[in-house]
Structure 1
Amino acid sequence: MTHPVRRDRASRQPGSRIPGWSGDPLAEFDDLFGRIGSLLESTVGGAVPEARGWAPLADVSETDDAYLIEADLPGVKQDDVDIELSERELVITGELKERERTGVLRRTTRRTGRFEYRTLLPGEIDAEGVSAALKEGVLTVSVPKAERTKPRHIPITSAD
């Protein structure tokens, strides 16, 4: 398959702008992303449902005693976060509210609105001992393991 080729390159003067490009290349990318989003919305049926929102970045780690979930929630207030545990599934939901601004907002890349993070923990847990803390924009949830799933050290005795 052949592709069309622009033949006006030789006629362009050094330092002249490419026809169709604005002075701000980032504006061109914004326009391109907008067009791609519109195309996806028209073909796939829309973006992420509003009720679910966006998912914060998070790490899930395991120690001998517990599972630790650390979710990045910068700017989120403690009262705007809800944590639920159902069997082995941990769900963190909430809302990052838009702050009031003065002046004209020219560009924004920060996420706002509803968020949801879900994870399925790999082993049995002690739901009564779950604790959570929000410090410096990081939510840390500690989910203790059930006693029977904790590893235990087996000493080796001599056979003499």
Structure 2
Amino acid sequence: MFRPLEPFKELTTLQERINKMFEDVLPSFSLQDSKWLPAVDIYETDGNIQIEVEVPGMNEKDLKVKVEDNTLTISGERKFEKKESKDNYYRIERNYGTFTRSFFLPDNVDKEQIKAKYENGILKVELPKKLEAKPKEIEIAVQK
């Protein structure tokens, strides 16, 4: 029986497993009304969870970051600006229109301290972790 060659099947399976691992730690969902979805990297440092959203060609005023309950939502719009009316495009591969990405926040995120910064086409959202209360040890004297 002939089986088609699938050289990237193992790589795809590995990518799916990695995606599943991240979804278990910081699940996300995307709304279906988005025209496009920018690429997102999520990683953890000692004191923060970092989200980096690839949105080149946008202006910070076209981006919106908000927290509602335990959900962080990043949305925006990249507008198509035709340079001159006589331009005849043969191909447009860049994505334009609105997008929305939403992420469930873990309980250990300090929502009041979230910061966002747009630089060189990347929106960086810093999610500081809450300081964990260290257990206080009290020694109790044992009496006879």
Q: Moved runs in structure 1, 4+ residues, more than 4 A? A: none
What is residue 110 of structure 1 aligned with on the other side? Answer: 94
* Structure 2 residue matching 1:110: 3-state secondary structure: coil
| TM-score normalised over the length of structure 1 | 0.58
Percent identity of the aligned residues? 29
CA contact (8 A) 1:82 1:94 kept: yes
Alignment gaps of 5+ in structure 2: 1-30, 135-144
Shift of 1:117: 1.3
AA partner of residue 111 (structure 1):
N
Distance 2:129 2:68 in 1: 14
Length-normalised TM-score, structure 2: 0.64
Given residue 56 of structure 1, which amino acid in structure 2 is its aligned partner?
A: P
Unaligned runs of 5+ in 1: 1-47, 153-160
After superposition, the C-alpha distances for 1:114-142 in whole angstroms (9 at most, x for unaligned) are 01112223342111111111000000000
Instruction: Give the aligned partner of residue 68 of structure 1.
Output: 50
Tell me: higher relative CO, structure 1 or 2? Use CA pairs within 8 A at least 6 residues apart.
Answer: 2
Decide which structure has the larger Cα Rg and report it.
1
| Aligned residues of 1:57 and 1:72 also touching (Cα < 8 A) | yes
Letter in 2 for 1:135: E
What RMSD over aligned residues (CA atoms) do the two structures have, in Å? 1.9
Match of 1:88? 70
- The structure in which a higher percent of residues are strand is 2
